[in-house]
């Protein structure tokens, strides 16, 4: 028996979205994912996203975020590393730092892990391998206060909920690298906006924004391509 067949018996692979056997994402489900080829100008910074938001993309993110499904996280990381290539062609740094958007302390405690830190590490590893540039994760943003669940809030409520929610760790030095602010999903842009405020308080600005998925039609301050 070949090693690949043996591994399939021990660690069976099923589609992340429909549980079909033998593949991480079957062709039927993969075609439901809508690639995002345009970029957005969000809060004055270019946002690069891998996917447009739809039900398939939402389920993929939820699998990685709430179920700690590593295959889903690796799949998203591969897509994000590919999308990073566009940013790298325009920025051309020899070294990059990925700054993940933090979850609330309550969410981290409930999950038992820091979802965005884990995802960012997978993205950084894939970027280093695929693009031949040094890339590492700098989890320098932390929650400054309690944050309510954003899922049921409209744009105005999300903005109010996120105001003053993050702060930059003391003694941080981000010089000498391209700074990429990274999140799994961008909807209204309020979370990215708060992360940008916290960075600016420390006299830093990112060179680009990167996300796995974007709900482009909901962006409150979207300017366009």
pLDDT digits (tens, 9 = 90+) for 79-101: 999 999 999 999 999 999 999 99
Which residues, 6+ apart, have CB-to-CB distance to 100 below 8 Å? 114, 116, 117, 119, 120, 137, 139, 141, 182, 183
pLDDT at residue 224 tops 50: no
Q: What is the pLDDT of residue 222?
A: 43
The mean-pLDDT minimum among 30-34, 152-156, 214-218 falls in 152-156
The DSSP result for 97-166, as a single string, is EEEEPPPPHHHHHHHTS-HHHHHHHHHHHHHHHHH-SEEEE---EEE-S----STT--HHHHHHHHTT-E
Q: What is the pLDDT of residue 164?
A: 64
Query: Band of the pLDDT at 159, cuts 50, 70, 90?
Result: low
Query: Band of the pLDDT at 27, cuts 50, 70, 90?
Result: very high
Domain boundaries, the chain: 1-31, 34-218
Dist CA 125 CA 96 (whole Å): 11
pLDDT digit string (tens) for 125-140?
Answer: 999 999 999 999 999 9
Q: What is the pLDDT of residue 140?
A: 96
pLDDT at residue 8 tops 70: no
Higher-confidence residue: 152 or 75? Answer: 75
CB 117 within 8 A of CB 139: yes
Dist CA 57 CA 77 (whole Å): 13
Q: What is the pLDDT of residue 95?
A: 97
pLDDT at residue 157 tops 60: yes
Dist CA 140 CA 182 (whole Å): 12
Query: Band of the pLDDT at 7, cuts 50, 70, 90?
Result: very low
CB 97 within 8 A of CB 138: yes
pLDDT at residue 106 tops 90: no
Q: Nearest Cα to 185, choosing from 105, 37, 80, 75?
A: 80
Sign of CA dihedral 166, 169, 173, 174: negative
At the top level of CATH, the class of 34-218 is alpha beta
pLDDT digit string (tens) for 176-218?
Answer: 999 999 999 998 888 999 999 999 999 999 999 999 999 866 5
What percentage of the chain carries pLDDT values higher than 70?
Answer: 85
What percentage of the chain carries pLDDT values higher than 90?
Answer: 64
């Amino acid at each position: 028996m070949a090693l690949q067949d043996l591994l399939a018996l021990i660690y069976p692979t099923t589609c992340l979205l429909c549980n079909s056997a033998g593949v991480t994402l079957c062709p039927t489900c993969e075609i439901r994912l809508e690639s995002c080829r345009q970029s957005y100008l969000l809060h004055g910074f270019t946002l690069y996203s891998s996917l447009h938001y739809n039900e398939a993309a939402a389920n993929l993110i939820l699998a990685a975020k709430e179920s700690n499904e590593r295959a889903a996280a690796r799949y998203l990381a591969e897509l994000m590393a590919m999308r990073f290539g566009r940013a790298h062609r325009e920025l051309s740094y020899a070294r990059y730092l990925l700054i993940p958007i933090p979850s609330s302390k309550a969410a981290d405690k409930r999950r038992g892990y820091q979802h965005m830190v884990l995802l960012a590490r997978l993205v950084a590893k894939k970027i280093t391998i695929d693009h031949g540039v040094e890339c590492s994760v700098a989890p320098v943003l932390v929650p400054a206060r309690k944050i309510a669940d954003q899922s049921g809030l409209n744009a105005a409520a999300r903005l109010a909920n996120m105001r003053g929610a993050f702060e930059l760790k003391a003694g941080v030095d981000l010089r000498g690298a391209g700074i990429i602010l990274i999140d799994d999903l961008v909807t209204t842009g309020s979370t990215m906006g708060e992360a940008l405020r916290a960075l600016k308080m420390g006299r830093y600005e990112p060179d680009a924004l990167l996300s796995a998925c974007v709900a482009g039609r909901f962006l409150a301050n979207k300017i366009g391509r």
